[in-house]
Structure 1
């Protein structure tokens, strides 16, 4: 069943198409042209054509028919108008079918958007721009120690967002989510590999045994640089993901 809004929209939109058809459909164009031709063609010329058709039929079928048996010429006008009206009806009906397809596509797109919007809101609850993890990624120099609890948001995202239930239906958004998850997973692995607890209860990429030295070993500098660079990459991807989601979902 159709809603009142759908019926009203169809009447207004395609009522105009009935009065002013665009003839985009070849069938409509051919049938209207044929009907108009039957109406506008002079009667003498039509008689010539009819006689030729009758003579051809008699010659091939062996059955003699005459022009009077074809009926009066006034029937031509009814035939012409009937063809034009049927063409216009076909034109409107085909547009109605396209209209219904457009409605279905719009409803489907709205449902997809609602699912993705709900999932995005869930993401913002665990890893928003104002989270401790986002702040750590943006501002911290990993040449200094840090609180391991600051990584909780990233760890939660890595642990819980690699399953079908956390996948976006929009393929472009899902591609960005996968990219962010992969980079967060890589960052978590790098932190686990390159850092260790300190004597003060924090976590540090720089070992306690060299922390007080004026010059760190080259491998320590390389580790700090690698972690800092990846932290910046994760933060930029995180911000880009949120921006893309807001633009796509208009939220």
Structure 2
């Protein structure tokens, strides 16, 4: 060859590949597409897993939206409020405690408000219609005429408790996201 160039043939690629894979930095230098993403190899922390579980138990839809937007003077779907009850019934155990002290304090505040609201909903509402809905105003009372003052008062109390719960929930979820989502 006039230009001083010569042909190279690789006879033992497996040996070269083996040597190349002994040093990850060298391997990823030549094959960056093989490098795993950092997030794919990172195991979520206890608090991150707990946050995901909380979102699955008491996500914004449907319960928190109902509490934010609904006037409890009228009937509401019972299954829409069920996540609030599920949270209250299952989040009072040591396994559901955040390690981060600020997150745990927020959870305690959220749980206390959920307890008060859940208890009031259970005590002051009854199934209406075919049982899929609940209300402070029973079917029997509806048949008897206009709403008594005490029914209006129960609705006002439920609305006030719901409006107390929602900002605590939103603040806590934002704090979780700020601390736990990278």
Q: Same fold (TM over 0.5)?
A: yes
1:186 paired residue number: 116
Deviation at 1:127, TM superposition (A): 1.4
Structure 2 matches for 1:200-211, cutoff 5 A? Answer: 200-201=130-131, 202-211=133-142
Give 2:125's aligned residue: 195
Q: How far does residue 207 in structure 1 lie from its aligned partner after superposition?
A: 2.4
What RMSD over aligned residues (CA atoms) do the two structures have, in Å? 2.2
Give me the whole-angstrom Cα distance separating, in 1, the residues matched to 2:158 and 2:147.
16
Picking from 229, 233, 238, the partner of 2:164 is 233
Q: Paired residues, what number? A: 140
Partner of residue 102, structure 1: none
Max radius of gyration: which structure? Answer: 1
Gaps of 5+ in 1: 1-110
TM-score, structure 1 normalization:
0.52
Whole-angstrom CA distance in 2 between matches of 1:214 and 1:235:
33
User: How much does 1:128 deviate?
Assistant: 1.6
**1:120 alignment counterpart:** 51
d(CA) in 2 for partners of 1:204 and 1:124?
A: 26
**2:45 match: secondary structure:** helix
| Partner of residue 172 from structure 1, selected from 102, 105, 114 | 102
Cα drift, residue 178 of structure 1? 0.8
Q: Distance in 2 between matches of 1:149 and 1:212?
A: 25
Equivalent runs, 1:29-178 vs 2, <5 Å: 114-129=45-60, 131-178=61-108
CA distances 1:110-142 after superposition (whole Å, capped 9, x unpaired): x9x82211211111122122x211121111111
- How far 1:189 moved relative to its partner? 0.5
Query: 1:199 & 1:249 partners in 2: Cα distance?
Result: 43
The structure whose residues are more often helix, as a share, is: 1
Counterpart CA distance in 1 for 2:65 and 2:97 is 25
2:149 aligned residue (208, 211, 218): 218
- How far off its partner does 1:223 sit? 0.3
3-state SS of paired residue (1:203): strand
